[in-house]
């Protein structure tokens, strides 16, 4: 399979998003840990903060996987309405 410009753009985007997501996760996980004292009730808030940092990363992975499949023709064809299985 030849390496096309679309592949270069895809991988550049994937690496850029991975670096950005790593920076987001680092700022969420490490920065609050530097405070000397955590206020009461901050555990739930911190959990939500981490979740809101991780969920977009999971969504990005899904988008990249689906994009790769469409680019390289590995997506499953839709079943025709009259087909039986």
Structure tokens that stand for 70 in this block: 């469409």
pLDDT band, residue 65 (cuts 50/70/90): very high
Nearest alpha-carbon partner for 19 in 74, 46, 57: 57
Structure tokens that stand for 54 in this block: 């991780």
Token pair 């996980």: residue: 29
Q: Cα separation of 82 and 53, whole Å? A: 43
- Which pLDDT value is given to residue 30? 83
Structure tokens that stand for 61 in this block: 């992975």
Average pLDDT over residues 10-21: 93
Domain boundaries of the chain, sorted by first residue: 5-33+43-72
Judged against a pLDDT cut of 90, whether residue 13 lies above it is answered with yes
Tell whether pTM > 0.75.
Answer: no
Higher pLDDT, 44 or 40: 44
- Which pLDDT value is given to residue 43? 78
Q: Cα separation of 70 and 39, whole Å? A: 48
């Amino acid at each position: 399979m030849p390496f096309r410009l679309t592949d270069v753009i895809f991988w550049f985007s994937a690496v850029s998003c991975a670096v950005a997501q790593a920076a987001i996760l680092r700022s969420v996980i490490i920065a609050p840990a530097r405070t000397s004292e955590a206020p009461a009730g901050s555990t739930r808030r911190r959990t939500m903060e981490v979740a809101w940092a991780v969920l977009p990363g999971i969504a990005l992975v899904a988008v990249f996987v689906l994009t790769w499949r469409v680019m390289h023709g590995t997506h499953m064809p839709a079943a025709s309405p009259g087909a039986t299985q």
